[in-house]
A and B are shown apart, each in its own frame.
Chain A
Amino acid sequence: MTAAQSAAWTAATAIAQSAAAGPELVLAVTLGVLFALGTFLVLRRDVVRVVWGITIISQSANVYLVTMGDITGGVPILEKAGHHAAPHGPITDPLPQALVLTAIVIGFASTAFALVLTYRVYEEHGTIDADELADAGEVVR
C-alpha cells in the first residue's frame, strides 16, 4: 500500500495548495481524489476493499451532489425576519441538501447490506479473494 500512501500524500498537498484558490477548487480536487481512491479500491481482489471502494464512491457522489447547489451562499433556509433579524446574504439552494439526505440514507442501507453479504460470502466460500471466488466457477444450485 506504499504506492497508495504516497498517492494520498500527493493528493493532500494538492488539496492544501488549491485551498488558496477558493472553495470550488478544493472541492473539485477532493472529489477527484475521492473518486480515484474509490475506483482504485473497487478494482482490488479483496472483497472488503471493494465494499470500501463503493462506499467511498457513493459518498463522494453525495459530496458532489451538495456542490451542485450554490456552495458560496450562506444558510440553506431563510430565517423569519423579526425573530433574530440576522442579516443574511444569498441563501444556499436547499434542494440538493434534501437530495443528499435521501442519498445518504440509501447509501447506508446498501453499505450495511454489502458488508453483511461480504461476511456471508466469507462463510460460504472461506475466502474473500475475488480471484479465488471467480475460480469457484458457475455451480448451479
Chain B
Amino acid sequence: MTQHVVVAPLLIALSTAIICLLARRSLRVQRAVSVVGVFAYAGAVGLLVLRVLPDATLTYNVGGWPAPFAIVAVADALSVFMLCLAAVLAVPSLLFSLRYVGDFGEQLTYHPLFHFMLAGVTGAFLTSDIFNLFVWFEVLLMASYVLVVFYGNAEQTRVTLRYLVLNLVGSAVMLLAIGGIYATTGTLNMADLAVRIANPAEYGVSLAPVLGLSMLLFTVFAVKAGIAPFQWWVPATYRAAPAPVTAMLAGVVKKVGVYALIRLYFTVFAAAEFDALAGLPWGDGSALAYFGPVVLAMAALSIGFGGLGAIGQDTIEGLLAYSSIGQVGFIVLPLAVGALVTPELVPGVRHLAIVASLVYALNHTLSKGLLFLVAGTIRDATGTTRFSELGGVAREQPVVAGAFLVGGLGLVGVPPLSGFFGKLLVFQSAVNANAWLPLALALGGAILTVAYVSRAWNRGFWGDPSPAVETAAPTDRVQVGLVVALALAVILVGVGFQPVFEFAGHAADAALDRGQYVDAVLPDGGAASGGGHA
C-alpha cells in the first residue's frame, strides 16, 4: 500500500483529466474538478517528496510483476525534484487560465488537455523504462498539440503543423533508437540496461551500437528541450499557445528533455566503458565523453542564438520564447562540464554540475512561468504585447511591472533572487573544473540576458504611458495575485536557498548513485532478466 504513493500524482492527473471530460457539459463542475485536481496533484507530489527525501528510492511495479518484466515507476530524489517543478508551476498556471482562457475555450477541452499534459510529464519523470518514456512523451505531446492550436486561428494552425511534423519525426527516431537498444542489449528497463552495459561480456552485449543509439535518443531529447540546433520550433510555438500553456511548455515540458538527459546519460549510459572513447584526452571513456563536447557546442549555440534572437524581438512573448532557448543553454552547460571533466580530476565535479543544472532549471521554471503569465496579464488588459505599442506600464500598473522586473532580474541572476544561485552554481562548476570556455560562454550569455531584459524593461514598462496602456482595461485581480505569488516564490527560493540547495544535492546524489537505482529497481540483482536473444 505504501508504494502506491509513487503513482499517486500520475493517477490524480489522469483521473482529473477523465472526470473533466465526463463533466464537459457543466463548466462550473469542470472548473471545480480541475482546480481540486491540480491542488491534489501538488499535495501528492508533496507527500512523495516527504517519503523520498533524503535518500529513499521508492518503486512501484505495475501489475506486481518482478522488475525487468514489469513497467516500474521509480521515485527517487531526482524524479521528485522534477515533479516539484511541475507541481509548483501547474497550480498558478491552471488558476491563471481560469481567468484567461475564457468560458468557451474552457468548456471545449482546456481542462482535460491540461491535466493530460500534466499526466504525460509526470509519467515521463517517474518511469524507469525507455519504451514507457516514449509513451508518456506521446501523451504529453498529443495534449500539447491541441493546446498550441487552441485558438485555432491561421497562425496557430500553421505553427502547430510545423510542431506536429517535427515531433512525429522525432517519435519515429525515438522508436528507432529504442528498438535498436532492445535488440542490442535485450532490455528496456533503465536499471537493467545499466547493469548489462556495465558488464557487456557477461550479457553478450555489443557496446558500439549502444553509443550510436544513445546519441540518436539524445537528438530526440534535445528537440523536446529546444536546444540549438533543434530550437527553431520554439519561438513560433510559444507565441501561438495561450499564455498559461506557454508557461507550462517553457517551465515544465522543456524540463522533461533535460530530465531525460540527466537520467539516461548520467545514471544509465555512463555505466558503460566504450573502447572507442577510452583514448580521448577528456571524459572517462563512458558515453559522457561523447556527450560532453556535443552538448557543449549545442549549449554555446543555444546561449548565443537565444540571447541574440531575444534582443531583436518586437513582442514580449517573442522575447521570452527566444530567451527560453538561451536559458536552456545555461541549464545544459554545466552538464557538458560534468561530462567532460572526470571526478578523478576534480572530485565532486559531476555532483556540482547536476546541482547547478537542476537549480538553474528551477529558476527558469519559476521566472519564465512568471514572465509568460505577466505577458498574458498585459495582453488581457491592453490587448497587445508589442513593444512599439506598450510603454509606461510601470506607471499605470506598478504591481504587474514589478512582477516583470522580479522575473527579469531572476533570469539575469541578481541576488537575492533564485536566479543568482543558479548562475553562481553554473559559474562555480565551470571554475572548479578549470573549464574556461564554458565560463566565457556563461559570461557572454549573462551579458546578453542583461541586454534583452533591460531592453524589454525600457521599451515596454518604463517611460510615458502609451495610448494602449492609458486606455487599458483594469487588470484582473486574480491574475495579478498569481503573478505576485510567483514573484514572491522567485524571491523566496533565493532568500531561503539552503533547503532548495540540499534538495538539489539529494537529487544529484540520486542521479549519480547508479548502484542505489539498480538495487531499488532490481532487488534480485537483475541477472534473472529475460530477453532471449541478448
- Say yes or no: A57 contacts B169, CB within 8 Å: yes
CA distance A118 to B165 in the complex (A): 11
Binds A, one of B21-29, B172-180, B304-312: B172-180
Could you mark each residue 463-490 of chain B with 1 if its beta carbon is under 8 Å from any beta carbon of chain A, else 0?
Answer: 0000000000000000000000000000
Q: Does A36 contact B (CB under 8 A)?
A: no
Expressed in whole angstroms, the Cα–Cα distance for A6 and B359 within the complex equals: 56
Q: Are B532 and A106 in contact (CB under 8 A)?
A: no
Q: Complex: how many Å from CA A121 to CA B158?
A: 6
Determine whether B135 belongs to the interface, using a CB cutoff of 8 Å to chain A: yes
Closest to A139 in B: B155
User: Is A47's beta carbon under 8 Å from chain B?
Assistant: yes
User: Are B168 and A58 in touch, CB under 8 angstroms?
Assistant: yes
A121–B531 CA distance with the chains assembled, in angstroms: 45
The answer to whether residues A70 and B533 also contact, given A109-B142, A139-B154 and a CB cut-off of 8 A, is yes
Of A47, A68, A121, A125, chain B has the most CB atoms within 10 Å of the CB of A68
How many chain B residues touch the partner (CB < 8 A)? 43
For residue B498, CB closer than 8 A to chain A, the reply is no
Is B240 close to A, CB under 8 A? Answer: yes
B415 on the interface (CB 8 Å rule)?
no
CA distance A136 to B156 in the complex (A): 12
List the B side residues contacting A62 at CB < 8 Å.
Answer: 175
| Interchain CB contact under 8 A, B160 and A138 | no
Taking a contact as CB atoms under 8 Å apart, the answer to whether A138 and B236 are in contact is yes
Which residues in window 131-170 of B have CB below 8 A to A? 131, 134-135, 138, 142, 145-146, 149, 151-158, 160-161, 164-165, 168-169
Chain A 97-132 near chain B by CB (<8 Å), digits 1 or 0: 001001100100110011001101100110000000
Q: Does B182 contact A (CB under 8 A)?
A: yes
In the bound assembly, the distance between CA atoms of A94 and B165 in angstroms comes to 30
Size of the A side of the interface (Cβ < 8 Å), in residues, is 39
Chain A residues touching B, majority SS? helix
How long is the Cα–Cα vector from A128 to B236 in the complex, in angstroms? Answer: 19
Q: List 25 A-B contacts (CB under 8 A).
A: A42-B169, A54-B169, A54-B172, A58-B168, A58-B175, A61-B171, A61-B175, A91-B532, A95-B188, A99-B131, A99-B179, A106-B138, A106-B171, A110-B171, A113-B145, A114-B164, A114-B165, A114-B168, A117-B160, A118-B161, A124-B152, A124-B153, A138-B239, A140-B239, A140-B385
Q: Which residues of B contact A (CB under 8 A)?
A: 131, 134-135, 138, 142, 145-146, 149, 151-158, 160-161, 164-165, 168-169, 171-172, 175-176, 178-180, 182-183, 188, 236, 239-240, 315, 317-318, 385-386, 531-533
Binding site for B on A (CB under 8 A): 42, 47, 50-51, 54, 57-58, 60-62, 64-65, 68-70, 91, 93, 95-96, 99, 102-103, 106, 109-110, 113-114, 117-118, 120-121, 124-125, 133, 136, 138-141
Given contacts A96-B182, A140-B386, 12 further A-B contacts (CB under 8 A): A61-B175, A61-B179, A64-B179, A99-B179, A113-B145, A117-B149, A121-B161, A124-B154, A125-B154, A140-B155, A140-B315, A140-B385
